[in-house]
């Protein structure tokens, strides 16, 4: 929908710290409340503070066992309570009338359920403890007391349901009431239950018990407390979104929320339970608000509908089940059975909840949120985001642990026991004979033989050509996409960026799918690695009428299962012929009738689909396979699918039927993803198969050895499946079920009428092509198809082909730019700039014209000099590795000489460049963390965290082995010739508060540097940017989709990410609205070419400008798009000496010339506009006007939202006004350590000291390492002046981050996440406290993602580590006593010894180094990832040096930590050694490992 | 798809074998050998397959060069030939006569720092091979429209136009005054650059596509009027044959010849027989003579090399500009040198000297800043050509740039109609040198091709 005021629509995402404290015996105590309040305060750093410095993003408690307290409150208020009393916490509108009205409506609703309203109490508040922003929107807060009037209402669950129904009824009454808007805005029932009472507010955690004096009352006792501290991306106070909700509190983000909400709507019509009338509850979940709120709604419906917590939680947020099948088939059947009725609500999610029967904590399948628990010997259970939030003496701790991915713990109050994950599994698996039901009910098509032919009835040449022309299958696509898929089972790889116009701006007809920009995860949730972590993903697709989640019945299992939504002809036909569908199928032809308009055809198709489903059709086939004539006009399958899907949802019929789409319009993964994303169940891309059949028939497809010709179809399908997994994974979505219908796209360029009709709910903010234009396109293509003389289109979307799609870096532009920088002649630059600025509209900014009024112009001399403009120019991050050293250094030199900044990219920097004019002032910190050492970080003015890259947001990268030469390997701490993987996510950023932590780490190690966060434009980036500003970033870069890359799949380059014009405008509006703009500097980056680009970006809100491709072109790059092949003939994107010598002709002066030209160009525009300084353009939206556009499609655009203020107050700053954005946490302990060590460092003396610490002391060691690195570089402390710091307690996150040689940190206690992140040397030791009762190897001592990106040093820990231990380790040595899932992922060097149990997926993406893993339970072979590593027994024969080495490492571990387990092993080493595996990369020989061991020794 | 990414590094650029100069000047055959199939494929595999295909942009026809190189590499000869024809009606001819060093190969990315792909040689080879292997344009799906178009001039523009019309189901009738098709290709370009057999093959191919040739026929006002009446459209591809006049003192002396006269007569002779006596075709006897050729374009190169083959004792080329600024193909200059031709750069001819016959040539040598006299027996003037549209054309309402127009425009037909290449007369199209002035063959091909497409579109639109 277009919103007149702007782009920022106030969506928000949140994350946080959370926890649960419960007494197993369910006895209410004051201690539980106190502990919860302390814990909340100790998680304050995980939350955020509003613009006023006082208002929090929200925190709260959900208390259980409160009946005595409730009765006490009622007594005081003079309210007499009868049987089964309940107290509801209610937010009312502050407006007295609206508040009274809402209250009256709630009363009516309660009475209607047979409940009596015994009285009301105004909750006492201390307004002094509430910040002004929060106070501004504070609701009136009251409690309602009820008891039971209806004599038939007896059972506890019936009373609870009555309270639930009363609340839902009240909400609907308020929404429907006369004063709807005012009332709805403020009315919110925090809790209304007999079991729990919630207190939540927009205050800081420390202030919560003061704000609510109730919480400080000694008579407030609870048997359990759920607590939550919120970090929202929105500072606009939203009291109702503070957590806990009525049942749960959530840390993380529900990635699948769009799909989940959507299907909740569809399933409301299908599900039935005798306990509830679901019709009345529609929509079952809130369709806006936060994701957590909707999840809470869903959980509530399931519980009130009859499920218990153990079942409801596990089916809403199930674990990954791929590995379960052989371990526990009954449990796997439980999940598979419920998976047929419900799609996962996938995280990142850490959930804590509490209801009448249970208190529980659960993690999603990826385990991306930390949850550490302990149980005391007096029956107190504590679980929270961090260890150390509740003080318990070690000797009282019975057990400690951390939840793993997909695990759940529950306190069963009835039995007074703690249920472990396995206990819960056992309860669930035995609920019904799921396995038998599935065996009887499910039909598998995937077990059939593979299709022997690509197409059973190949088209004749003329028919094929006609289809290809009608559906725009070009020669380019055939040869460069389809053929590659069939031959290599991969999407083609490409490089550089997408420099074609947006589809809506193009002069060509572009497929509808080109208007869809793929969504992706950044900051608030992480993408998944679909290759290395495929175990969590699934494309399994079911066909059949959906079941009813509330009925345990074999009927629910009558389904056909497909292993993916991509059908072959044979599968489609088999499906169509199944007896159960014989009378339950309908076929709809996707062609216009004679004289029919497109909207009329959609009406007809929707009506027909509805009628068919009402008639019992379960299979609805939408097909464009049977054109009625040679010149038939197709209805785009995407339009039809979206329209029909939504029509069926609205009619309550969607879950009765499946939409199968047989279409020529989908051939690649993006097109198929678009169809599934708008609602298709499965897709048969017949034209792809037909085209491949023709190629195979002509013998053109390359036969691999042993590759049967008939398998090309399967290869194609595999390639598509990988592509689909990638598209899901970049959003962080694991299963296709959660993706289907979720509409996880931003539409750019379709008119509101089209979006409303076919894709309701998808963001589409600037309008564009309407039905008339789309129909005209279809008619044009139909005519072309019918013209026998017309040839296949040549293509030109991938390459700049003359006559094909326009490319903004075509040879003409490249040539003009290169001529200009070589001649230095301003006339040559002008020729270039005129060609760029005068091109037909290709980007959104081309439709924004500067309002130049001659009367306003000033003299050029009155404009600030170029020297003041140049510092605003950065070069975009391009790594050494992607670029040759010559090109990389030329660019750095140029930027430094200009007084601007170059960006190192991800790949380290040669220390020889530190301090010279060849250094990069911006150092990038990307997900691979290559060469990110303390020395690297302190040699920077700006530290840029690359969250996403314009060319491929949501994806990792890979530097192919042939580009890893000796230099690159040295800088990246890797081995030459071995490919290097950058993971899709930063493994220390799964959520916004994690980003805040990394920013904190960076500011600790280099307090002088500004921290920058690079984001990619997409709808909703405003909210993300606000969160980033609240996470204390100093700079935010907004990249457009058109950024470059050294290597990416083609579909990522072409379809992910949005235009930066929308991004910067939205971010500007969001930051100003939230009072955050003054704290951060904004940069844009993406296809900037001339001064005009800079000026427009500045007006939209940018203060700084990133250039990637243009300076490369200036240095000689010819935009060949072959960077990924290492064959760059211009010597820029290659490491081959021959090419660098013969090809590279660049010099720093050329890049300097380019930037000077642009700066002068900017000055000329400023003079024309009458503005003296670039900075003065900030927010001068009056200087821009939207052009009407040149084509019908363009004329449908409405760019007004870009030029709006988003509702921000006029007084809000339009640019950054603060020098820095310092974190709120001053790091007192780190400061003390710095002061204590100052003398020793200055004078080169040894140093030892001991400090207590707690979980609020974060990044301990980082500041000191930074100081040392400044003085000594990565060499660290001199050998004669070591430092040993000893600590007692629970360390906060990032203990020992970027540790340097010579610095030893020894901790007695335990640590949280990210220990030894980026460690470059020195030593970290962790040992459990004296008096601990639990065996060390059974208890966690380290959190998640430790040693991430470490390049050296050693870590010994007498205890277990969490998930992703030693991820991307490239040099550290570590001994631990157990690891969670994904151990040693992406490791490229170093050594890891695991003396205990390993989680799943050990060694994924492991290309260097080695690990020794104890396999006590003999199941390690099922737990490691065999793609890249192999296991070798450490036999006495031939492996003697490994035995010696292992023994020595264990001995050092024992010496450092006093490990009992280690000591026992040494005593029994002969026997124990045989139970270890050596884990080594397949690519490395045993000999080479032995050699490196000797070298290390 | 492309070959191994680093083939251009591992395999140097290699042209097909060329006959040594001493051998090639003894006859009129093309001196270039052919690639063995695997060598051709390997050379094609040197292509980087750039995302910005500079060659394709550098080619006036925008030939899909990387794609047909790739097909060639894969051994998919017929598809390569088909794709070559998709943009170029005469690829085997362009492969021979285009100055690739200034066009596709000059634009080739590898030209900087490495060596360009041998695009011209590969284009020629792949089409020759395809023809030999029996490939012919596939017109089986073409439906006849029943329309007819007359084409005046069987030069590269006319032939290209005919090709496009035939593919559109339109009957093309090509009229030419010569007895053979080809125009400039047959009667201007010497046979050692473009073998007559190539033209014969192309004629056969076009005839098989249904193109009709009416040769030995001079179009005059009456015939033109009839053509306009009887045909649905007319394409005029009459070239630029009028030599730029030489007004040097002494230009009337015996022994002074116009370039076209020399080339045309020799071409006629070779069409008859390579062994036919020059005198029988009115050619001067150059045996043992000192021949001076004035001019630095491709025609001058054709003249010097023809003179060598006609037995001249000593041949020199007199060029006003420096070597780097010569308008012609560098490859031609190099070939001429190999064949013994001397070059005098920066020499401005002042007069042709001699009493009854040419004896010398007076020039101003800008290098030495002095006048000098070169001895000479024969002077051939190759100052270029201009279009000279016949009167029946202007009489019919077709607009020609007048004498007062910008320099170089005079005499050129204006094609500023609604459709590409359309003249002021609605159904008359024009292209090639008569529109452009003397220009490259490839540009004439482009005009003819575009005119053919435009006529087809016009006729389709009714």
Measured between CB atoms, does B68 come within 8 Å of chain A?
no
Contact B5/A1121, CB-based, under 8 Å? no
Distance CA B145, CA B167 (A): 11
Give the A:B interface size as CB pairs under 8 Å. 99
φ, ψ for residue B420, nearest 5 deg: -55, 135
Parallel, antiparallel or unpaired: strands A493-494 and A1048-1049: antiparallel
Measured between CB atoms, does B461 come within 8 Å of chain A?
no
From chain B residues 121-160, the ones with a CB under 8 A of any chain A CB are 141-143
pLDDT along chain A (1497 residues), means of 10: 56 77 97 96 86 83 96 95 94 91 94 96 94 89 94 90 95 77 76 96 93 96 95 74 93 88 89 90 84 93 95 94 80 93 88 94 91 96 95 93 95 96 95 94 68 71 95 95 92 91 96 96 90 89 92 91 92 90 95 97 98 97 96 97 96 95 97 98 96 88 62 90 95 92 95 97 95 97 88 91 94 97 97 97 97 95 97 94 94 97 92 94 95 96 94 85 88 87 93 94 97 95 93 96 86 92 96 92 96 97 96 96 90 93 94 98 97 93 94 96 90 94 94 96 96 96 97 95 97 97 97 97 96 92 97 97 96 97 95 95 94 94 93 87 93 97 94 94 85 71
**Chain B residues within 8 A of A494 when measuring between CB atoms:** 51
Mean pLDDT of chain B, nearest integer: 93
DSSP letter, residue A1310? E
Residue B253 has pLDDT above 60, yes or no: yes
Q: How far is B54 from chain A (nearest CA, A)?
A: 6
What is the radius of gyration, based on Cα positions, of chain B?
23
Who's near A415: CB < 8 A, 6+ residues apart?
Answer: none
Are the C-beta atoms of residues A345 and A516 closer than 8 Å to each other?
no
Q: How far is A799 from chain B (nearest CA, A)?
A: 5
Distance CA A130, CA A1203 (A): 35
Q: Among A474, A798, A811, which would you mutate to test the B interface (most chain B Cβ atoms within 10 Å of its Cβ)? A: A811
Are the C-beta atoms of residues B312 and B286 closer than 8 Å to each other?
yes
Contact A1122/B48, CB-based, under 8 Å? yes
Sheet of strand A1035-1039, all strands in order from the earlier edge strand to the far edge: A873-875, A1104-1107, A1081-1085, A1035-1039, A1010-1016, A942-946, A922-925
> How big is chain A, counted in residues?
1497
Secondary structure (3-state) at B116: coil
pLDDT tens per residue across span B185-223 = 999 999 999 999 999 999 999 999 999 999 999 999 999
Structure tokens at A18: 């959370």
**Count of other CB atoms within 10 angstroms of residue A476:** 21
Structure tokens at B129: 């091979």
Q: How far is B137 from chain A (nearest CA, A)?
A: 13
Catalytic residues of A: 16
Measured between CB atoms, does A934 come within 8 Å of chain B?
no
Q: Exposed, middle or buried by CB within 10 Å (0-12, 13-18, 19+), for A855? A: exposed
The greatest distance separating any two alpha carbons of chain A, rounded to the nearest whole angstrom, comes to: 95
Distance CA A451, CA A463 (A): 23
Are the C-beta atoms of residues A633 and A591 closer than 8 Å to each other?
yes
**Chain B residues within 8 A of A1131 when measuring between CB atoms:** 113
Contact B114/A803, CB-based, under 8 Å? no
Sheet of strand B212-214, all strands in order from the earlier edge strand to the far edge: B212-214, B170-175, B147-152, B233-236, B428-430
**Chain A residues within 8 A of B85 when measuring between CB atoms:** none
Secondary structure (3-state) at A254: coil
pLDDT tens per residue across span B9-52 = 999 999 999 999 999 999 999 998 889 989 999 999 999 999 99
Who's near A1346: CB < 8 A, 6+ residues apart?
Answer: A1313, A1314, A1315, A1316, A1317, A1355, A1361, A1362, A1365, A1366
Measured between CB atoms, does A496 come within 8 Å of chain B?
yes
| This prediction's pTM | 0.94
- Cβ density class A628-648: b for 16+ within 10 Å, e for less: eeeebbbbbbbbbbbbbbbbb
Which segments of B133-247 does DSSP mark as H helices, in order?
A: 156-167, 184-187, 196-208, 221-230
Distance CA A195, CA A205 (A): 24
**Chain A residues within 8 A of B57 when measuring between CB atoms:** 800, 802, 810-812
Q: Which residue has the higher pLDDT, B291 or B274?
A: B291
Who's near A718: CB < 8 A, 6+ residues apart?
Answer: A489
Structure tokens at B284: 């001067």
From chain A residues 464-493, the ones with a CB under 8 A of any chain B CB are 475, 479-480, 483-484
Who's near A919: CB < 8 A, 6+ residues apart?
Answer: A892, A896, A909, A913, A939
Measured between CB atoms, does B78 come within 8 Å of chain A?
no
H or E element that contains A600: helix A598-614
Residue A91, beta-bridge partner list: A141, A188
Contact B113/A1142, CB-based, under 8 Å? yes
């Amino acid at each position: 929908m277009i919103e007149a005021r702007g782009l920022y629509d106030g969506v928000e995402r949140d994350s946080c710290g959370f926890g649960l404290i419960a007494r197993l015996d369910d006895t209410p105590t004051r201690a539980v409340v106190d502990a919860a309040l302390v814990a909340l305060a100790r998680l304050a750093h995980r939350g955020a503070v509003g613009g006023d410095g006082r208002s929090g993003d929200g925190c709260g408690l959900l208390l259980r066992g409160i009946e005595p307290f409730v009765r006490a409150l009622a007594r005081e208020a003079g309210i007499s309570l009868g049987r089964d009393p309940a107290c509801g916490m209610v937010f009312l509108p502050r407006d007295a009338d609206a508040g009274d009205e809402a209250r009256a409506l709630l009363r009516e609703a309660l009475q209607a359920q047979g409940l009596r309203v015994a009285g009301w109490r105004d909750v006492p508040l201390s307004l002094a403890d509430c910040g002004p922003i929060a106070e501004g929107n504070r609701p009136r807060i009251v409690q309602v007391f009820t008891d039971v009037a209806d004599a038939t209402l007896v059972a506890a669950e019936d009373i609870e349901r009555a309270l639930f129904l009363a609340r839902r009824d009240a909400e609907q009454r308020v929404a429907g009431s006369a004063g709807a808007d005012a009332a709805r805005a403020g009315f919110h029932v925090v809790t209304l239950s007999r079991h729990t009472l919630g207190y939540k507010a927009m205050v800081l955690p420390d202030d919560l018990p003061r704000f609510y004096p109730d919480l400080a009352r000694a008579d407030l006792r609870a048997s359990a407390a759920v607590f939550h501290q919120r970090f929202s991306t929105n500072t606009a106070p939203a009291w109702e979104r503070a957590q806990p909700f009525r049942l749960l509190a959530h840390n993380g983000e529900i990635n699948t929320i769009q799909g989940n909400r959507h299907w909740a709507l569809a399933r409301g019509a299908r599900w039935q339970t005798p306990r509830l009338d679901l019709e009345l509850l529609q929509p079952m979940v809130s369709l806006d608000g936060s994701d957590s709120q909707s999840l809470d709604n869903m959980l509530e419906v399931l519980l009130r509908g009859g499920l218990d917590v153990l079942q409801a939680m596990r089916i809403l947020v199930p674990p990954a089940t791929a590995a379960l099948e052989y371990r526990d088939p009954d449990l796997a059947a439980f999940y598979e059975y419920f998976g047929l009725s419900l799609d996962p609500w996938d995280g990142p999610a850490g959930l804590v909840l509490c209801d009448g029967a249970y208190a529980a904590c659960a993690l999603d399948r990826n385990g991306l949120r930390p949850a550490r628990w302990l149980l005391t010997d007096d029956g107190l259970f504590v679980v929270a985001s961090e260890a150390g939030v509740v003080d318990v003496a070690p000797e009282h701790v019975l057990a400690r642990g951390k939840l793993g991915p997909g695990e759940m713990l529950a306190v069963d109050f009835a039995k007074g026991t703690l249920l472990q994950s396995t206990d819960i599994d056992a309860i669930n698996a035995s609920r019904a004979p799921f396995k038998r039901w599935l065996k009887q009910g499910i039909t598998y098509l995937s077990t059939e033989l593979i299709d022997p032919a690509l197409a059973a009835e190949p088209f004749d040449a003329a028919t094929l050509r006609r289809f290809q022309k009608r559906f725009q299958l070009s020669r380019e696509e055939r040869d460069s996409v389809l053929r590659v898929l069939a031959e290599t089972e991969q999407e083609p790889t490409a490089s550089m960026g997408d420099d074609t116009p947006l589809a809506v701006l193009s002069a060509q007809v572009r497929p509808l799918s080109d208007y869809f920009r793929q969504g992706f995860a950044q900051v608030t949730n992480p993408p998944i690695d679909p290759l290395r972590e495929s175990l969590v993903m699934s494309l399994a697709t079911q066909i059949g009428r959906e079941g009813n989640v509330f009925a345990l019945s074999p009927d629910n299992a009558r389904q056909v299962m497909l292993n993916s939504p991509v059908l072959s002809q044979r599968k489609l036909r088999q499906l169509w012929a199944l007896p159960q569908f014989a009378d339950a199928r309908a076929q709809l032809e996707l062609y216009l009738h004679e004289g029919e308009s497109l909207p009329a055809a959609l009406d007809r198709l929707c009506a027909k689909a509805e009628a068919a489903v009402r008639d019992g059709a379960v299979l609805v086939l939408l097909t464009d396979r049977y054109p009625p004539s040679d010149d038939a006009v197709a209805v785009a399958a995407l339009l039809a699918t979206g329209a029909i899907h939504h029509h069926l949802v609205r009619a309550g019929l969607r879950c009765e039927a499946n939409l199968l789409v047989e279409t020529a319009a989908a051939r690649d993964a993006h097109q198929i993803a678009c169809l599934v994303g708008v609602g298709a169940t499965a897709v048969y891309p017949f034209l792809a198969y037909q085209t491949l059949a023709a190629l195979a028939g002509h013998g053109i497809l390359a036969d691999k050895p042993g590759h049967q010709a008939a398998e090309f179809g399967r290869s194609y399908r595999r390639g598509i499946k990988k592509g689909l997994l990638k598209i899901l994974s970049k959003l962080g979505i694991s299963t296709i079920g959660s993706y289907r219908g979720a509409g996880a796209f931003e539409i750019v360029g379709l008119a509101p009428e089209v979006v409303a009709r076919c894709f309701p709910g998808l963001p589409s903010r600037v309008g564009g092509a309407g039905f008339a234009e789309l129909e005209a396109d279809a008619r044009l293509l139909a005519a072309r198809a019918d013209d026998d003389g017309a040839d296949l289109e040549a293509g030109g979307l991938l390459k700049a082909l003359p006559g094909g799609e326009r490319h903004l870096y075509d040879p003409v532009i490249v040539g003009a730019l290169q001529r200009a920088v070589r001649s230095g002649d301003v006339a040559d630059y002008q020729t270039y700039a005129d060609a760029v600025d005068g091109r037909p509209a290709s980007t959104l900014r081309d439709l924004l014209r500067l309002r130049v009024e001659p009367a306003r112009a000033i003299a050029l001399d009155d404009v600030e000099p170029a020297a003041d403009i140049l510092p605003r120019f950065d070069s975009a991050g391009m790594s050494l590795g992607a670029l040759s050293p010559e090109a990389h250094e030329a660019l750095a030199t140029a930027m430094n000489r200009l007084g601007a900044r170059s960006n190192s990219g991800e790949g380290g920097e040669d220390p020889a460049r530190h301090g010279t004019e060849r250094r990069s002032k911006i150092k990038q910190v990307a997900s691979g963390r290559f060469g990110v050492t303390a020395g690297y970080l302190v040699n920077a003015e700006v530290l840029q965290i690359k969250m996403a890259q314009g060319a491929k947001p949501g994806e990792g990268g890979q530097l192919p082995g042939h580009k890893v030469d000796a230099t690159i390997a040295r800088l990246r701490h890797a081995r030459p010739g071995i490919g290097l993987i950058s993971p899709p996510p930063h493994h220390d950023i799964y959520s916004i508060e994690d980003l805040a932590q990394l920013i904190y780490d960076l500011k600790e190690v280099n307090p002088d540097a500004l921290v920058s966060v690079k984001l990619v434009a997409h709808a909703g980036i405003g909210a993300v940017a606000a969160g980033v500003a609240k996470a204390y970033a100093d700079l935010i870069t907004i990249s457009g989709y058109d950024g470059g890359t050294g290597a990416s799949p083609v579909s990522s380059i072409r379809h992910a990410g949005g235009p930066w014009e929308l991004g910067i405008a939205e971010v500007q509006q969001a930051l100003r609205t939230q009072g955050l703009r003054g704290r951060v500097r904004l940069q844009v980056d993406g296809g900037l070419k001339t001064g005009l680009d800079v000026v427009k970006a500045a007006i939209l809100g940018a203060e700084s400008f990133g250039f990637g491709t243009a300076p490369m072109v200036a240095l000689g790059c010819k935009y060949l798009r072959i960077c990924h092949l290492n064959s760059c003939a211009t010597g820029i994107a290659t490491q081959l000496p021959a090419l660098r010598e013969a090809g590279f002709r660049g010099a720093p002066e050329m890049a300097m010339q380019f930037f000077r030209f642009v700066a002068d160009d900017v000055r000329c525009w400023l003079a024309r506009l009458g503005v003296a300084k670039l900075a003065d353009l900030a927010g001068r939206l009056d200087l821009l006007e939207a052009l009407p556009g040149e084509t019908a499609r363009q004329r449908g655009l409405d760019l007004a939202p870009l030029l709006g203020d988003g509702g921000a107050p006029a007084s809000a700053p339009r640019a950054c006004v603060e020098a820095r954005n310092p974190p709120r946490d001053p790091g007192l302990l780190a400061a003390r350590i710095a002061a204590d060590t100052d003398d020793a460092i200055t004078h080169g003396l040894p140093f030892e000291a001991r400090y207590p610490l707690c979980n609020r002391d974060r990044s301990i060691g980082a500041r000191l390492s930074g100081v040392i690195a400044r003085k000594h570089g990565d060499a660290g402390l001199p050998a004669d002046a070591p430092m040993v710091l000893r600590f007692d307690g629970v360390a906060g996150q990032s203990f020992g981050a970027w540790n340097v040689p010579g610095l030893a940190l020894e901790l007695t206690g335990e640590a949280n996440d990210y220990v030894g992140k980026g460690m470059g040397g020195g030593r970290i030791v962790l040992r459990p406290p004296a008096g601990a009762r639990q065996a060390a190897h059974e208890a966690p001592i380290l959190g998640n993602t430790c040693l991430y990106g470490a390049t050296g040093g050693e870590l010994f820990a007498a205890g277990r580590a969490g998930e992703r231990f030693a991820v991307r380790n490239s040099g550290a040595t570590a001994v631990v006593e157990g690891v969670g899932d994904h151990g040693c992922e992406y490791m490229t060097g170093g050594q890891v010894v695991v003396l205990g149990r390993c989680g799943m997926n050990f060694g994924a993406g492991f290309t260097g180094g080695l690990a020794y893993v104890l396999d006590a339970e003999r199941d390690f072979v099922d737990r490691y990832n065999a793609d890249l590593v192999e296991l070798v027994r450490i036999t006495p024969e031939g492996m003697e040096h490994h035995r010696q080495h292992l023994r020595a490492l264990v001995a050092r571990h024992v010496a450092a930590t006093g490990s009992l387990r280690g000591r026992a092993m040494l005593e029994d080493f002969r026997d124990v050694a045989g139970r270890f595996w050596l884990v080594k990369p397949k690519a490395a020989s045993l000999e080479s490992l032995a050699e490196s061991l000797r070298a290390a020794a | 798809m492309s070959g191994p990414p680093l083939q251009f590094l591992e395999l140097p650029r290699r042209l097909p074998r060329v006959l040594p100069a001493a051998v090639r000047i003894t006859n009129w055959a093309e001196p270039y050998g052919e690639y063995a199939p695997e060598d051709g494929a390997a050379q094609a595999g040197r292509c980087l397959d750039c995302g910005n295909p500079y060659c394709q942009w550098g080619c006036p026809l925008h030939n899909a060069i990387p794609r047909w190189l790739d097909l060639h590499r894969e051994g998919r000869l017929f598809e390569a030939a088909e794709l070559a024809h998709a943009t170029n009606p005469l690829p085997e001819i362009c492969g021979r006569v285009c100055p690739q060093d200034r066009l596709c190969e000059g634009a080739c990315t590898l030209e900087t720092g490495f060596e360009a792909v041998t695009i011209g040689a590969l284009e020629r080879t792949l089409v020759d091979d395809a023809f030999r292997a029996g490939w012919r344009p596939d017109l089986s799906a073409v439906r006849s429209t029943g329309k007819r178009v007359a084409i005046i001039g069987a030069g590269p523009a006319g032939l290209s136009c005919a090709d496009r019309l035939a593919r559109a189901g339109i009957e093309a009738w090509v009229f030419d005054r010569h007895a053979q098709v080809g125009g400039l290709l047959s009667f201007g370009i010497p046979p050692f650059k473009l073998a007559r057999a190539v033209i014969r093959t192309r004629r056969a191919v076009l005839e098989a596509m249904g193109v009709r040739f009416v040769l030995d026929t001079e179009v005059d006002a009456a015939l033109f009027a009839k053509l306009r009446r009887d045909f649905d459209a007319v394409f005029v591809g009459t070239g630029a044959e009028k030599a730029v006049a030489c007004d040097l003192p002494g230009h009337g002396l015996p022994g002074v010849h116009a370039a076209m006269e020399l080339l045309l007569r020799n071409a006629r002779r070779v069409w008859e027989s390579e062994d036919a006596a020059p005198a029988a075709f009115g050619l001067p006897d150059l045996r043992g003579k000192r021949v001076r050729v004035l001019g630095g374009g491709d025609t001058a190169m054709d003249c010097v090399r023809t003179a060598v083959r006609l037995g001249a004792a000593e041949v020199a080329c007199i060029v006003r500009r420096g070597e780097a600024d010569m308008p012609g193909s560098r490859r031609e200059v190099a070939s001429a040198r190999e064949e013994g031709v001397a070059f005098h750069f920066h020499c401005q001819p002042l007069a042709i000297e001699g009493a009854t016959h040419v004896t010398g040539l007076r020039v101003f040598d800008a290098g030495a800043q002095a006048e000098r006299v070169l001895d000479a027996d024969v002077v051939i003037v190759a100052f270029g050509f201009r279009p000279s549209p016949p009167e029946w054309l202007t009489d019919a309402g077709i607009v020609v740039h007048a004498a007062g127009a910008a320099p170089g425009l005079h005499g050129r037909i204006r094609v500023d109609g609604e459709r590409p290449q359309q003249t002021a007369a609605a159904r008359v199209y024009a292209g090639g040198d008569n529109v452009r002035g003397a220009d490259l063959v490839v540009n004439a091909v482009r005009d003819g091709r575009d005119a053919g497409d435009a006529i087809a579109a016009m006729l389709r639109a009714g």
